[in-house]
């Protein structure tokens, strides 16, 4: 286990007999063959945060492992990333990187915030994580990335003292590329998978006003009998006598119009010429000004991306980000 006085393939002479790692076929190779690893903002941000914990030089120990395909398995589950990394021994080392997932109540609040802003809902439903998402999570008390290295519980079955060892470091690099391939893996690590999150957003967006939205359990508010209130907007009750038709004599509920049908619901059933004065009016009042997202003092940093590794050394972007935040206060 990492933390014990030995290390596979290390520089300590007592353990030099471990030799080079065993080459394997079919391992998970990093797509980046040179330079920095990570293409998207969320993968670069993840590695920047790790570098800000003074892990930059330790991380580089695992880069060659990641590019050589020594990671044979990588699984992301809520609260834990597990991997198997082939070293010089016959059996791969088991690796675990744990990060506390957000509780259900906190996720319900985040989902309500996301559903309330069409910008975030549209981007997420399109399979994208916009950079502004980090600010929304932070404002909700749920930072996407760890604020301190102590929040990450790192474990490896190898006999290396260093944390992270090169097996953990290789897993970090492959995890960053997994975020590149599927940004929802980052949210999955924090406790909410892609399908579940998008389903909740669709439900919340379709529910309309906050009072009509499902609660954290996914149920829509109802009256004491568990049925839809008879005076709810858009509800039409029919008391037609039973004439033998299926469903006749029973109350039926017509769902309120949604989407484009809302714009036509208020128009009379008359020729268009008689309603032309109302045709171009919006079905709901429009705001006086278009909505805008709050921006932090580090917006320019996010837009420009990370500088070359030779400029400022590891963790430069994170140090600049903190400096801008202090100046912004």
Contact 26, 162 (CB under 8 A): no
Is 135 domain-assigned?
Answer: no
What mean pLDDT is predicted for residues 173-185?
90
d(CA 281, CA 302): 39
Is 167 domain-assigned?
Answer: yes
Give the length of the chain: 329
Lowest mean pLDDT among 51-55, 127-131, 210-214, 304-308: 210-214
Is 117 domain-assigned?
Answer: no
Count helices and strands in the chain by DSSP H and E runs? 13, 4
Angle at which helices 316-328 and 41-50 cross, to 10°: 90
Is 150 domain-assigned?
Answer: yes
Instruction: Identify the residue whose tokens are 């880069």.
Output: 63
Is 139 domain-assigned?
Answer: no
pTM: 0.59
Is 141 domain-assigned?
Answer: no
User: What distances in angstroms separate CA 24 from CA 27, 37, 86, 116, 302, one per listed residue?
Assistant: 7, 22, 8, 49, 38
Is 169 domain-assigned?
Answer: yes
Q: Does the pLDDT at position 232 exceed 60?
A: no
- pLDDT confidence of residue 217: 46
Query: Residue 51's domain spans which residues?
Result: 13-103+146-190
Evaluate the CA torsion angle 272, 278, 281, 283 in order and state its sign. negative
Q: Does the pLDDT at position 197 exceed 90?
A: yes
Contact 136, 120 (CB under 8 A): yes
Number of domains in the chain: 1
- pLDDT confidence of residue 103: 95
Is 32 domain-assigned?
Answer: yes
- pLDDT confidence of residue 269: 58
């Amino acid at each position: 286990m990492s933390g014990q006085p030995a290390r596979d393939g290390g520089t300590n002479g007592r353990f030099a007999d471990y030799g080079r790692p065993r080459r394997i076929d079919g391992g998970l190779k990093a797509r980046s063959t040179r330079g920095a690893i990570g293409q998207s903002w969320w993968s670069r941000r993840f590695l920047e945060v790790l570098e800000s914990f003074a892990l930059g030089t330790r991380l580089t120990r695992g880069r060659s492992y990641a590019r050589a395909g020594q990671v044979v398995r990588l699984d992301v589950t809520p609260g834990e990333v597990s991997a198997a990394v082939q070293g010089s021994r016959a059996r791969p080392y088991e690796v675990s990187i744990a990060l506390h997932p957000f509780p259900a109540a906190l996720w319900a609040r985040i989902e309500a915030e996301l559903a309330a802003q069409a910008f975030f809902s549209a981007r997420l439903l399109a399979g994208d994580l916009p950079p502004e998402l980090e600010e929304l999570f932070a404002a909700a008390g749920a930072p996407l990335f760890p604020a301190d290295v102590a929040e990450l519980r790192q474990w490896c079955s190898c006999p290396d003292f260093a944390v992270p060892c090169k097996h953990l470091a290789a897993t970090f690099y492959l995890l960053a590329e997994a975020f590149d391939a599927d940004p929802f893996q980052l949210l999955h690590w924090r406790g909410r998978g892609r399908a579940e999150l998008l389903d909740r957003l669709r439900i919340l967006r379709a529910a309309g006003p906050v009072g009509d939205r499902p609660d954290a359990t996914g149920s829509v508010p109802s009256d004491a009998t568990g049925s839809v209130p008879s005076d709810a907007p858009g509800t039409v009750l029919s008391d037609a006598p039973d004439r033998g038709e299926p469903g006749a004599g029973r109350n039926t509920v017509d769902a309120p119009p949604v989407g484009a049908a809302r714009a036509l619901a208020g128009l009379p059933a008359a020729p268009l010429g008689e309603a032309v004065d109302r045709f171009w009016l919006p079905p709901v009042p429009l705001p006086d000004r278009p909505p805008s997202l709050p921006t932090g003092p580090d917006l320019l940093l996010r837009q420009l991306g990370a500088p070359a590794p030779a400029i400022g050394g590891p963790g430069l972007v994170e140090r600049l980000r903190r400096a801008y935040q202090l100046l912004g206060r």
